[in-house]
Amino acid sequence: MLTRRIIACLDVRDGRVVKGIQFVDLIDAGDPAALAHRHAFEGADEIVLLDITATHEGRATLLDTVRRTAHSLFVPFTVGGGIRTASDAEAVFEAGADKVSINSAALADPSLIGKIGASFGAQAVIVAIDARRNPDAADPVGQARVFTHGGRKDTGRTAVEWACEAESRGAGEILLTSMDSDGTRAGFDCELTAAVSSAVRIPVIASGGAGTVAHFADVFGSGQADAALAASIFHFGVSSARSLKQELAQLGIPVRLPC
């Protein structure tokens, strides 16, 4: 049976993890390569490395970080943040990424999705969507809007419509972050996730708002998510992807339990 995926996300700046899943017994909790390896060992189904480096010099550091992280990682590995062109993507793939996540660059030039897919396959292109419910609309969820620039810029597009366009342009997966839920630990936006997931045939990864194991169960149930991003799982009262998955399995959610 196809399982629901738990994806560990590491936010990286200048080659160091600045936010993400922390392990107390890891000597260097800031090293992305060490953390990624540890998460994979603990049963994370995939690793996402999100580069939040703002500077140009940081790009060279990122490629080195990707190379080191990919070196002994044998689960799917996605890199996002700052990928603006097909050649940016190519450099990240050559450093060892299996997929790239693109966000504002795809909104600015939707043909970028197909360009990257033409060389590396549709499965290698994740379109990340940051969305917020539209309280003024009759259907706040269906009309949830897509934002860029950390939520400061309203693109005027709806999440459902943009996800459908991304799919038709050849995206392999959608990474949907609810800006209303992000950071609240009050649960994923299951209605928004379901609205997007039911509108497309490609997998949808839910992000934003996880606070408990039950939140994951909810987003895999009513949220119809195919995968969920765990950005700081250690704070949820579980120590690892392994224990999160064990608890999900007890709740009847199909997950891969590592041997």
Partner 1 sequence: MNVTVIDYKAGNLTSVVKALRHLGAEVTVTDGPDPLGEAERIILPGVGHFAATRRLDETGLTPAIREAISRGIPFLGICVGMQWLYSGSTEAPEQRGLGYLPETIERFPEGNEKVPHVGWNQIVPNSASRLLAGIRSEEFAYFTHSWRAPITSGTAATTEYIQPFASAVEDRNVFGVQFHPEKSAETGLKILKNFLELQPC
Give residues in contact with partner 1 (CB under 8 A). Answer: 1-5, 40, 45, 70-72, 74-76, 93-94, 96, 98, 119-124, 172-173, 201-203, 226-227, 256, 258-259
Token couple for 128: 């990340």
Q: How far is 129 from 189, CA to CA, in rounded Å? A: 13
In the bound complex, what is the minimum distance in angstroms from residue 1's beta carbon to partner 1? 7
Q: Which is nearer to partner 1, 7 or 233 (CB)?
A: 7
Q: Which is nearer to partner 1, 129 or 227 (CB)?
A: 227
How many other C-beta atoms can be found within 10 angstroms of the C-beta atom of residue 10? 25
In the bound complex, what is the minimum distance in angstroms from residue 46's beta carbon to partner 1? 8
Q: Which residues of 216-255 are buried (b: 16+ CB within 10 A; e: fewer)?
A: bbbbbbebbbbbbbbbbbeebebebbbbbbebbeeeebeb
Which residues make Cβ contacts (< 8 Å) with residue 227, sequence separation at least 6?
Answer: 4, 5, 6, 7, 45, 46, 173, 203, 204, 205, 206
Which residues are tagged catalytic? 11, 130
In the bound complex, what is the minimum distance in angstroms from residue 203's beta carbon to partner 1? 5
Burial class for 55, CB neighbours closer than 10 Å (0-12, 13-18, 19+) = exposed
Burial class for 43, CB neighbours closer than 10 Å (0-12, 13-18, 19+) = buried
Q: How far is 98 from 207, CA to CA, in rounded Å? A: 20
In the bound complex, what is the minimum distance in angstroms from residue 41's beta carbon to partner 1? 9
In the bound complex, what is the minimum distance in angstroms from residue 33's beta carbon to partner 1? 13
In the bound complex, what is the minimum distance in angstroms from residue 138's beta carbon to partner 1? 28
Q: Which is nearer to partner 1, 123 or 143 (CB)?
A: 123
Q: How far is 208 from 135, CA to CA, in rounded Å? A: 19
Q: Which is nearer to partner 1, 63 or 179 (CB)?
A: 63
Q: Which is nearer to partner 1, 11 or 167 (CB)?
A: 167
Q: Which is nearer to partner 1, 138 or 259 (CB)?
A: 259
Residue 164 near residue 197, CB atoms below 8 Å: no
